Amino acid sequence: MSLEGQVAVVTGSATGIGRACAVRLAQDGADIGLLDLNAEGLDETRAAVEAEGRRCEAIAVDLTDRAPLFAAFESLRASLGFLEILHNNAGGAFQSAPLMIDYSSAKAGRVGEPEDIAHAVSFLASPGASYVTGEHLLVAGGRTIH
């Protein structure tokens, strides 16, 4: 299920889950726009995306700063073309510490890896998910945290 000819934007993609998802979407065939505060990390992610043979533009921007964020999206659109896929990965950091602890004892019997999220993102961005609308997909190794 190829994303050839499409463009995906991944926020919070300088590291961790965002980076894994950006690389996975590049492997699926998409060109990639990267947005994050961390310019150094963005350089590493861009190198990993380009190693997959895809075009990549990375912009260091604070996602909470409206005007620069809009300018960044406009710049991505100008350089990469129509932006079909948005993976808004940054922004829910307040729960990450307890989740990491629970992941280690999850029913899957192993710690969650960034690539576990990337598999799900790859599916949801794919043509195979074109009939999936408004679904909540739990990717948590078998344990639900409240």
Ligand X SMILES: NC(=O)c1ccc[n+]([C@@H]2O[C@H](COP(=O)([O-])OP(=O)(O)OC[C@H]3O[C@@H](n4cnc5c(N)ncnc54)[C@H](O)[C@@H]3O)[C@@H](O)[C@H]2O)c1
**x-or-dash string of contact with ligand X, 54-73, rule CB under 6 A:** --------xxx---------
**Residue 33 interacts with ligand X (CB under 6 A)?**
no
The pair of three-digit structure tokens given for residue 100, joined into one six-digit string: 């990491």
| Nearer Cβ to ligand X (7/103) | 103
Given a contact cutoff of 8 angstroms between Cβ atoms, the answer to whether 58 and 46 are in contact is yes
Q: For residue 24, give every residue at least 6 positions away whose Cβ sits within 8 Å of its Cβ, in sequence order, or none.
A: 115, 118, 119, 121, 122
At 14, the amino acid letter reads A
Cα 125 versus chain centre, distance: 10
Task: Select from 25-33, 47-55, 75-83, 99-107 the region that touches ligand X (CB under 6 A).
Answer: 99-107
Instruction: Give the residue nearest to ligand X (CB).
Output: 16
Nearest to 7 by CA among 71, 57, 61: 57
Min dist CB 8 to ligand X, Å, is: 16
Q: Kindly determine how many residues on this chain lie close enough to bind ligand X according to the rule CB under 6 A.
A: 22
Residues that bind ligand X (CB under 6 A): 12, 14-18, 36-38, 41, 62-64, 89-93, 96, 99-100, 103
